[in-house]
Amino acid sequence: MVNKQGQTRLAQYFDSNLTADERRQLEGTIVRRCIARGADECAFVEHREYTVIYRRYASLYFVVGCEGEENELAMLEFVHGVVETLDRHFGNVCELDIMMHLDKVYCMLEEMVMCGNVVETNKQIVIAEASKAIDVQRDGGFPK
Amino acid sequence: MSTLRLRDLIRKVRECKTAAEERAVIARESSAIRESFRNPDEARFVPRNVAKLMFVHMLGHATHFGQMECVRLTARNGFPEKRIGYLGLMLLLDEDQEVTMLVTNSVKNDLSHKNHYVVGLGLCMLGSICSAEMARDVAGEVEQLMGHGNSYVRKKAALTATRVIKKVPELTEGFVPAAEKLLSDRHHGVLLAACTLATEMCEDDDDVRQRMRAQVPQLCKVLKSLIYAGKSVEHDIAGHADPFLQVAILRLLRVLGRGDADASDAMSDILAQIASNTDGAKNAGNAILYEAVETIIAIEAVGGLRVLAVNILGRFLQNKDNNIRYVALNTLAKVVEVDMQAIQRHRAIIVNCVKDADITIRRSALQLVYGLVNAKNVTTLSHELLEYLEVCDEEFKCELAKKISSLALKFSPSKQWYIDTFIALLIRAGQYIDELECNDFMGLVARTPQLHGYAARSLYRAACDDYAPVRLCAVAVWVCGEYSDAMVHAPSVEDEVLTKVKHNDVTKLMIAILSEEKYLMLRPLVMTALAKIAVREPSEQAVIIPVLAKYETTLELETQKRAHEYKSMFEKMPDLRDMLFEHMPPPEAPKFVAADTMETLAQKKAADAARPARSFGDLLNFDEGDSSQAQTSGADLLNDLLSPSSADAPTSAPVTPAKQMPTTDPFANMDAAHPAAVAGLMDLMSDDVPVVSSSSTGSLIDALGAPTAPTPPTAPQPAYAKGSLSIFLSASKPNQLDQSKTLVSARYVNAGPADIENFSLHAAVPKTMTLSMQAASGSTISSSAPVTQNMLVSAAAGHEGKPIALRLKLSWVENGQVMNEMATISRVD
């Protein structure tokens, strides 16, 4: 997740051995290319062997890089699912929510994506499981 | 002590105005966190500190020192600590051997924890970072958890298993029964994970694929229930029941159906239903349709199903949404090889997509068009592409021009058409056409005598334009100069635009090119062209010789040299010049151009592969001058050249000094005009090249006239000598405008009686330069035939003026003895 100024707000990599510098560089290149594109252009950019799929919500860009035969349209739909889930949890989610509650967002993402694969698309389940885990944070013990 | 809250850190970072300020804040905080980690009293702050490190990591700063703390957190008892610890591990860990070993121990405990959320955390972490060793250690636990009573654990275990078998493919076998069982699970999330796992298993393993094919009916059943099930609020997206699951099942079916007629048959019904019943009004529906089409294309589907799939793609193509058009173009590119006919119907739309405003779409469309072209439609398609080339953005032109050029070469129906197309390409995008391709084109013209006149006239028309690109003019100058006679006299070809050209017109064009500043680099070529025209049409000499005379005093070395040589030839050797300015012998055809018709396409394809290795003679340099021409057309001409004054001139020796002519700089040439200097140089010359008798050198110089005397290498002393071997090096600037490039010509001379065999020389230059070595003219140096080798040294920016230093590593065999030597040459002049 990247904002309009190209600042990364949340990033997760699956199976990559990039160093911090390489990561920053890669994010920079991809984000610059996405931001430069117009609203009516298609949501896909090819970068080296990866297909980059992005979707813009207000000032935030959600960028996903896939390799191989990924269904681009389904991935777009999934990004929308993630945003809707965050929206339901935070109530009209905005950039600041994501920044300030980094660990909660990660927690929610974790319920939806695992090792680069979609794990759950049912928003109710995701929110229920994630809130249980997040709530425990405060009072100790284990989620039920 | 660091008790700053994550929120406060974020606020502080946001307040930073510059990147340097941000770095300072991060550095301060990082050291405070380190300090805090070391203090056992501050254990309760560790989760908070790790959370801060995640933020620091996201900003792209070093956080490795937090890895160990994450491991410790995961080993604690409380859930919040474990959670933040695992999250930290997933984000911060790199392949640190020691840390991963510790992680394996603590995660193994958590996988058997009674609380399923803890188990979920462990699985999730393994899914993200597990290495091959960890995979082996936890495979048993993961497999067991796939049969866990809770769906939350089952789905995560299935996905962790994909990571495990990705890292250690041998483990696949053990997961098959568990995976098969999960494919009948009722929970959508588990099913989705199971499909992902099964797809991963089947991708590279034939046996597993064969076993999994038994699951095809079950998968079809699930799909059917999805399509016909009533609406369920949780999984519906825009009226489609769990599109993600549908997509995942379709993908698994694709892997299973590929190359197996029975399995393909079993799934064709459901595929047809999905393809015809899914509503494509929303993105989710299109995602399903897209996946179904991909599957139909990949499996052994019957014709009807395929038609259905291609029709869906046709609908996609007409969609206004660029996303959908993009997937349609990419998918059609996969169909091209299977079913060309079906796509040809959509050709017009596809060609329109090449002109789209969106670069991603343009690229995909161009790729598709490229696959679409065949011998039948090449004329129409390349015509359209050429038209578009005229209007498209500058950044896209290069790519497009290259594609058109290779298409034209591959499918050209006739040589005349190819000539037309290539010239059109040169006119529209000359700057993007590779020099090699131009050379190939000129070679093709040279080998096609019946079209000499046609090609020359077409190029003449194109070059008459004031804005003709340099590349076009270069080709035009060569072809018009070489075939000016055919241009004037050859009858016109069918469909040709009637052009009456006289020699006089060609001369005028050449002179116009000479006067244009932008064609500066073409001047040497024009000199040769003019000389050739003057020979073909003696009446033109009255105009041409004064032009040559004018350029005898130019500061551009190559132009000056040619102007002077040619003029001398006209004045002093009237009987020789006809022979010297004969037509160039057509260069041998590279294999892939040799055949121009479709019948031999197969051969061409094979030759295409070999193309990069083939280095075609540089035609532009072929006609560099009389002496180099003599080299290319064999020793006969050279003998002729020398015979008037010296009958027994050695045939090989003068070639060497002639080759080194460009080594002089303009001022040396001016000096050489003084007779005394010439004599001095000649003395040097005969010392330097012992094999050339001074009389033959003298006569050669006489024949060519004093100023173009083959000035000897400026280093008369060998740069290196050992026993009978001497190495002479000389440096020159091949391009006066580019001072960074230096051509170092090396000559290896053997003064002893025995041949030097297996000679090899490796050279290294200082770091500020790069060196590219060309092949030596031979590996055996006999006393009568020295070996030459060229090296191109490019200096990095700012180091152009520095002398070239070389370190040499030599090896050779002399009298059966292997010699290995090292040498350092501090300066090559």
Q: Which residue of A has its CA nearest to B79?
A: A142
Question: Cα separation of B788 and B709, whole Å?
Answer: 20
Question: Cα separation of B383 and B165, whole Å?
Answer: 51
Sequence-distant (≥ 6) Cβ neighbours of residue B752 within 8 angstroms: B723, B724, B725, B783, B814
Cβ within 8 Å, pair A115-B162: yes
Cβ within 8 Å, pair A125-B189: yes
Please report residues of B whose CB lies closer than 8 A to that of A12: 90-91
Report chain A's C-alpha Rg in angstroms.
16
Q: What pLDDT does B477 receive?
A: 92
Q: Which residue of A has its CA nearest to B250?
A: A71
DSSP assigned state of B737:
T
Please report residues of B whose CB lies closer than 8 A to that of A140: 78-80
The closest CB to that of B358, out of A42, A118, A132, belongs to: A42
ipTM (interface predicted TM): 0.92
Q: How far is B223 from chain A (nearest CA, A)?
A: 17
Which residue in B788, B792, B824, B793 sits closest to B806, CA to CA?
B824
Is some CB atom of chain A closer than 8 A to the CB atom of B396?
Answer: no
Dihedral sign, CA of B263, B266, B270, B273? positive
Task: Give the three-state DSSP class for B758.
Answer: strand
Q: Which amino acid is residue A20, in one-letter code?
A: A
Is some CB atom of chain B closer than 8 A to the CB atom of A96?
Answer: no
Cβ within 8 Å, pair A122-B188: yes
Please report residues of A whose CB lies closer than 8 A to that of B62: 20
Q: What pLDDT does B459 receive?
A: 92
- Exposure class string for B673-690: b at 16+ Cβ within 10 A, else e: eeeebbeebbeebbebbe
Q: What pLDDT does B164 receive?
A: 92
What's the length of chain A? 144
Question: Cα separation of B649 and A122, whole Å?
Answer: 92
Structural domain includes residue A144: no
CB B821 within 8 A of CB B761: no
| Below-70 pLDDT ranges, chain B | 1-2, 94-97, 230-234, 590-716, 736-737
DSSP assigned state of A8:
B
The closest CB to that of B115, out of A20, A129, A142, belongs to: A142
Which residue in B585, B593, B656 sits closest to B619, CA to CA?
B585
Which residue in B724, B747, B690, B748 sits closest to B817, CA to CA?
B724
B 288-317 residues with CB below 8 A of A?
A: 290-291, 294
Q: How far is B163 from chain A (nearest CA, A)?
A: 7
Please report which residue ranges of B573-706 form alpha helices under DSSP H. 574-580, 591-594, 601-610, 619-622, 626-632, 635-642, 655-659, 666-671, 675-688, 694-704
Partner residues linked to B760 by β-bridges: B811
Percent composition of chain B: helix, strand, coil (DSSP 3-state, to 5): 65, 10, 25
Q: What pLDDT does A137 receive?
A: 61
Question: Cα separation of B357 and A38, whole Å?
Answer: 10
**How many Cβ contacts (< 8 angstroms) between chains A and B?**
171
B 43-82 residues with CB below 8 A of A?
A: 51, 54-55, 57-62, 78-80
Q: Which residue of B has its CA nearest to A51?
A: B360
Is some CB atom of chain B closer than 8 A to the CB atom of A102?
Answer: yes
The closest CB to that of A24, out of B60, B94, B325, belongs to: B60
> Could you tell me the pLDDT band of residue A144, with boundaries at 50, 70 and 90?
low
For the record, the structure tokens of B134 come out as 């960890």
Interface test with A, best of B279, B323, B364 (most A CBs within 10 A): B323
Q: What pLDDT does B278 receive?
A: 84
Q: How far is B78 from chain A (nearest CA, A)?
A: 6
Interface test with A, best of B146, B244, B297 (most A CBs within 10 A): B244
Question: Cα separation of B45 and B5, whole Å?
Answer: 10
B 347-366 residues with CB below 8 A of A?
A: 357-361, 363
- Give the domain extent around A127: 2-138
Cβ within 8 Å, pair A115-B156: no
Q: What pLDDT does B27 receive?
A: 92
More confident position, B789 or A140: B789
More confident position, B26 or A40: B26
Please report residues of B whose CB lies closer than 8 A to that of A37: 358
For the record, the structure tokens of B149 come out as 């009573």
Structural domain includes residue A113: yes
Cβ within 8 Å, pair A132-B325: no
Structural domain includes residue A112: yes
The total number of structural domains that make up chain A = 1
* B762 exposure class (CB count in 10 Å sphere: 0-12, 13-18, 19+): exposed
For the record, the structure tokens of A90 come out as 């935070």
Task: Give the three-state DSSP class for B81.
Answer: helix
Cβ within 8 Å, pair A100-B7: yes
Which residue in B528, B519, B740, B733 sits closest to B621, CA to CA?
B528
Residue A63 pLDDT > 50, yes or no?
yes
Cβ within 8 Å, pair A103-B115: no
Interface test with B, best of A71, A96, A127 (most B CBs within 10 A): A71
Structural domain includes residue A9: yes
B 190-249 residues with CB below 8 A of A?
A: 192-193, 196, 234-235, 237, 242-245, 247-248
Cβ within 8 Å, pair B326-A41: no
For the record, the structure tokens of B480 come out as 């018009």
Q: What pLDDT does B149 receive?
A: 87
Q: Which residue of A has its CA nearest to B291?
A: A71
Interface test with B, best of A1, A14, A70, A77 (most B CBs within 10 A): A77
For the record, the structure tokens of B175 come out as 């997961």
Is some CB atom of chain B closer than 8 A to the CB atom of A141?
Answer: yes
> Over the stretch B741-784, which tens digit does the pLDDT of each residue have?
888 888 888 887 788 888 888 888 887 888 888 888 888 888 77
Is some CB atom of chain A closer than 8 A to the CB atom of B84?
Answer: yes
- How far the first Cα of chain B sits from its last, in Å, is 66
The closest CB to that of A117, out of B87, B94, B159, belongs to: B159
> Over the stretch B197-220, which tens digit does the pLDDT of each residue have?
999 999 888 889 999 999 999 999
Structural domain includes residue A43: yes
Partner residues linked to B808 by β-bridges: B763, B823
CATH of the domain at A59: 3.30.450.60
Cβ within 8 Å, pair A119-B192: yes
Structural domain includes residue A143: no
Please report residues of B whose CB lies closer than 8 A to that of A120: 155, 189, 192
Cβ within 8 Å, pair B95-A17: yes
Going from the C-alpha of A98 to that of each of A2, A5, B51, B529, the distances in angstroms are 11, 16, 14, 71
